[in-house]
Amino acid sequence: MDSYPIDSEKIYFSSDYLSLECEGEQKTLKIGEWLLVDPVRIHKMIVKEKVLQVDPYEVMGPLVSKLRRADYEYYRRITGLNMMIDFPGYSSEVRARIPYDTDPIAFYKWWRKGKHENAVYLSPAWQFKLFQKVAEMEPKIILKKDLEFLKAF
């Protein structure tokens, strides 16, 4: 079979072929098939390594959907505050960023005290900003471990 190495100038669509090293041998599949076989690897090639350019609608949309099912922890980490959540006071799911920005106290209570840390991944920087706001606005509710985190940052 022909080899299709990565062309960093090309924008790939789901029907385009790509050859990658897989378990010690060269494997050639259509991009759409790679999304099923190894969505995390394809995502990293696009976002982190920036060696693969893809069509945002035909490839990126389905890729995000596949990531959610294939590796939820990875999906949660890359989604961060863009994760859709059920948050008290909203009639439907909302991006976590909305309550995080508009009502940090309620978000903190929901996220930390409501044991929803696994629903939304907050990087240390986002945690720092949240804990700092909560410590300023309502210092009595912040947990001791979060105050320690602020002091150590």
99 close to 87: Cβ distance less than 8 angstroms: yes
Write the burial class of residue 151 (CB in 10 Å: 0-12 exposed, 13-18 middle, 19+ buried).
Answer: exposed
Phi, psi of 103 (to 5 degrees): -145, 75
Alpha helix (H) ranges present in 18-113?
Answer: 31-37, 39-47, 61-70, 72-79, 97-102, 104-108
CA distance 42 to 130: 32
The one-character DSSP state at 94 is: E
pLDDT, one tens digit per residue, over 71-122 is 989 999 999 999 999 999 999 999 999 999 999 999 999 999 788 988 999 9
For residues 74 and 23, give the distance between their C-alpha atoms in angstroms, rounded to a whole number: 21
Q: How many CA atoms lie within 13 A of 101 on its CB side?
A: 7
pLDDT at 65 over 90: no
pLDDT tens track for 41-57: 999 999 999 999 999 99
Q: Please tell me the predicted confidence (pLDDT) of residue 22.
A: 87
The whole model's pTM is what?
0.76
Residue 1 has pLDDT above 70, yes or no: no
